[in-house]
Amino acid sequence: MSETASGSAEIDEQTRRDFLIWSTVAVGAVGTALAVWPFIDQMNPAADTLALASTEVDISQIEVGQSITVIWRGKPVFIRHRTQEEINAAESVDLADLPDPQTDDARVQKPEWLIMVGVCTHLGCIPLGQKSGDPKGDFGGWFCPCHGSHYDTSGRIRKGPAPNNLPVPGYEFTSDSTVLIG
Amino acid sequence: MSGGTSNFQSNSRVVNWIEHRLPIFSFLDSQLHQYPTPKNLNYFWNFGSLAGIVLVIMIVSGITLAMSYTPHTDLAFNSVERIMRDVNSGWLIRYIHMNGASMFFIVVYIHIFRGLYYGSYKAPREILWMIGIFILLAMMATAFMGYVLPWGQMSFWGATVITNLFSAIPLVGDYIVQLLWGGFVVDNPTLNRFFSLHYLLPFVIVGLVFLHLWALHMHHSNNPTGVEIKDEKQDTIPFHPYYTIKDMYGLGIMLIFFAFFIFFAPNYFGHPDNYIMADPLVTPPHIVPEWYFLPFYAILRAFTSDYWVYQIISLGGTLMSAKLAGVIAMFASILVLLLLPWLDRSRVRSAKYRPLYRFFFWVFAIDCVILGWVGGLPPEGVLVTIGQWSTFWYFFHIIIIVPVVGILERPKPLPDSIAASVTSAPQAAE
Ligand code: HEM
Ligand code: FES
């Protein structure tokens, strides 16, 4: 009897000690994680970087068939005044042919204005096709020289290693001749 | 550190006073002077000490460069040009640092292939080998970030492409990339942190080198026969003066080679586009990493959606994107080396006595060279196919050939001891 009693007291003692040890370890681990976090978080974009204002662009000077590149949050944004053929080509594509299916309609507010971030979704190069002499790839849109991604006249990925379409930023036409990006 | 016997004694009262409190003299004596070293080491055993000396050269030239370098996107490029034109001996220090990085990788790659050939990674040197792989990884991170510092076109676009690799990670990828950049593109915050880490990592490497040497001195150097030291008197000679002098001789040769590039072809390993200041709006037509990354770059690019290896490992494209597969393969190509001590089933170390392994070793070495060559060219036409088959072979060699050869091969008879292998009349042990 007395043996059992002392035995169970020992077990009690054990579990109590285990509990104390593990709760100390747990509190210590949480505390360490909390202390480490600021040193990691300081690498995230700082307040002034985040506060970068939106960009307003005058588009009245862009002729049909011309493109300009503007900077928004340090990234190039392509603004293209599309020709009727380009719009037709973009709208007539069968969605089943697209690696990242999206209608042209979902990518523009006004069909003649294609506005998108000009950063290849593969590894971040800037696709060619903004200037008249540039290669435009197999689908008449943009071509990324880094690893050979082809984008169509809606900026959708058609061929090559990039997984996604060129992203469309938030924007709004503030008048017929200006657009506010961001 | 074990192994070294020291019968260190001194008559100097100062030395003895210090020795009694910090036994540093007997330690150095046992590890660098008396330290027993196999007497049959060939010149491939020079490359370890060479790597150590190049590391010191990199740290000295780096710290002095940092005295005139400015880590800011507006000023970095011009501060490097100022180092080249106006700072006293600045051109020399920068060319030492630039070419020193290439020398470092040449020396370390030879050092690693030496280990592969002579089976130096096998028991009891597994941890020694693994620390070596970690040193390689730290060197790669250091060199990558260093190349960003001059803020030329290749600096910027190399940084952009490589940091974007992390965006392939599902769910958290984009978040991680933003964390690395400290913004939405590679920009000033990125340059600042790269400078901070580029300064730090070489000293982490120094720490790893100490662990590497500690592990080395536990069981001593391997040697061309791969037979362990059996009798210290017969099989070894003291490190000093025999190997100190041999290492010095090798160093002289290496420095001549190094100096040739510094003085006569300082930009041979570089890329002319890096003398154009970084322009975030213009991607150079052909982005290439530094030569020492090319084999890994080739592995990264081999993974296109129609690559059959990708089709298999992604279960027909469902498990992961080709981009993610490429990133995983690139990191795996180095990490898989950590498993080598267990993948190699043969108990014979040296390829000298392993005819079949020796053959495949050379095929593997050529495969790595082909990968490097493909990695430097645009991925077009037949080059894509060559890159994909060489990538396949790289992994096939390590994961399949090495274990299978280890089991199937009948090695040639080993010498009884290191001493027996070098005496002209082989003594029969019987
Ligand atoms: C493991 C050793 C090291 C390696 C492999 C390495 C590699 C490199 C590389 C490849 C560059 C680019 C050179 C160029 O193209 O201009 C570079 C630049 C630089 N490194 Fe290092 N480095 C090492 C150690 C250090 C250390 C310890 C410092 C000390 C602060 C340092 C400071 C610098 C500076 C200031 C630059 C920019 C100037 C320039 O580009 O010439 N490096 N490093
Ligand atoms: S970054 Fe555009 S194809 Fe790779």
Tell me, what's the pLDDT at B424?
A: 60
- Prediction ipTM score: 0.78
Candidates A147, A157, A164, partner chain B, best to mutate (most B CBs within 10 A): A147
Give pLDDT, residue A8. 56
Within 6 Å (CB) of ligand 2, which residues are found? A 120, 122-125, 144, 146-149, 160-162
What is the pLDDT at residue B2? Answer: 44
pLDDT at A10: 62
Euclidean distance between CA atoms B5 and B95, whole angstroms: 42
A145/B164 touch (CB, cutoff 8 Å), yes or no: no
Cβ contacts of A49 on chain B, cutoff 8 Å:
182-184, 189
Decide if B246 is catalytic: yes
Whether residue B182 and residue A45 make contact (CB cut-off 8 A), yes or no, is yes
Please report residues of A whose CB lies closer than 8 A to that of B185. Answer: 73-75
Is residue A115 within 8 Å of residue A168, measured between CB atoms?
Answer: yes
* Ligand 1 contacts CB of residue B25 (under 6 A): no
pLDDT in tens, A140-168: 999 998 888 899 999 999 988 888 999 99
Radius of gyration of chain B (CA): 24
* Per-residue model confidence (pLDDT) at position B114: 98
Both structure tokens of B232 = 């210290």
pLDDT at A1: 43
Tell me the C-alpha distance between A123 and A87, whole Å.
27
Q: Which residue of A has its CA nearest to B176?
A: A44
| CB A78 within 8 Å of CB A118 | yes
DSSP 8-class letter at B201: H
> Residue B307's closest chain A neighbor by CA?
A161
Enumerate long-range contacts of B123-129, CB under 8 Å, 24 or more apart: B123/B341, B124/B218, B124/B219, B125/B215, B125/B216, B125/B219, B125/B222, B125/B341, B126/B341, B126/B342, B127/B215, B128/B212, B128/B215, B128/B216, B128/B219, B129/B340, B129/B341
Residue A9 has a pLDDT of: 57
Q: Which residues pair with A172 in a beta bridge?
A: A180
With beta carbons less than 8 A apart as the criterion, state whether A56 and A133 touch: no
pLDDT along chain B (430 residues), means of 10: 65 94 93 93 97 98 97 98 97 98 98 98 97 98 98 96 91 93 94 98 98 96 96 94 96 98 97 95 89 96 89 88 91 98 96 97 98 91 94 98 96 94 60
Using an 8 Å Cβ cutoff, are A125 and B279 in contact? no
Interchain CB contact of A106 with B (< 8 Å): no
Residue B208 near ligand 1, beta carbon < 6 Å: no
Q: Which pLDDT score, from 0 to 100, does residue A148 have?
A: 83
Alpha-carbon gap, residue A87 to A107, rounded angstroms: 12
- Summarised one tens digit per residue, pLDDT across range A21-56 is 999 999 999 999 999 999 999 999 998 888 776 888
Nearest to B161 among A43, A146, A163 (CB): A146
Asked if B154 and B271 count as a contact pair (C-beta separation under 8 A), the reply is yes
CB of B194 within 8 A of CB of B180?
A: no
Cα(B100) to ligand 2 centroid in Å equals 31
Contact between B30 and B4 under an 8 Å Cβ cutoff? The reply is yes
Instruction: State whether residue B165 sits within 8 Å of chain A by CB.
Output: yes
* B332, B398 Cβ separation under 8 angstroms: no
Angstrom distance (rounded) from CA B196 to CA B385: 40
Q: Could you say which DSSP state residue B401 is in?
A: I
- Could you tell me which residues are beta bridge partners of residue A157? A151
Q: Closest Cα to atom 3, ligand 2: which residue?
A: A147
Pairing of strands A178-181, B36-38: unpaired
The strand ranges marked E within B165-277 are 236-238
Helix (H, G, I), strand (E, B) or coil at A149: strand
Ligand nearest to the CA of B201: 1
* B69, B79, B97, best to mutate for ligand 1 pocket (most atoms within 8 Å of CB): B97
Residue B198 near residue B145 (C-beta atoms within 8 A): yes
> Is A150 assigned a catalytic role?
no
Give whole-number Cα distances, B363 to B53, B337, B388, B391, in Å. 31, 17, 16, 13
Judge contact between B353 and B412, C-beta under 8 A. Answer: yes
B290 assigned to active site: yes
Tokens 């396949």 belong to: B392
Q: Which of A49, A125, A146 sits opposite B189 (nearest CB)?
A: A49
- The ligand with the least distance to the CA atom of A123 is 2
What is the position in ligand 1's atom list of the atom closest to the CA of B270? 15
CA angle B90, B94, B95 (to 5 degrees): 115
d(CA A166, CA A152): 10
Q: Check if the beta carbon of residue A81 is closer than 8 Å to that of residue A63.
A: yes
Ligand 2 atom index nearest CA of A148: 3
Residue in B292, B310, B314 with CA at minimum distance from that of residue B302: B310
The pLDDT assigned to A68 comes to 94
> What are the tokens at B185?
């593109």
CA distance B268 to B288: 14
Q: Across the interface, do A122 and B193 touch by the CB < 8 Å criterion?
A: no
For residue A171, the 8-state DSSP code is E
Q: Give the one of A71, A124, A148 whose C-beta lies nearest to B164's C-beta.
A: A124
Structure tokens at B360: 């495949």
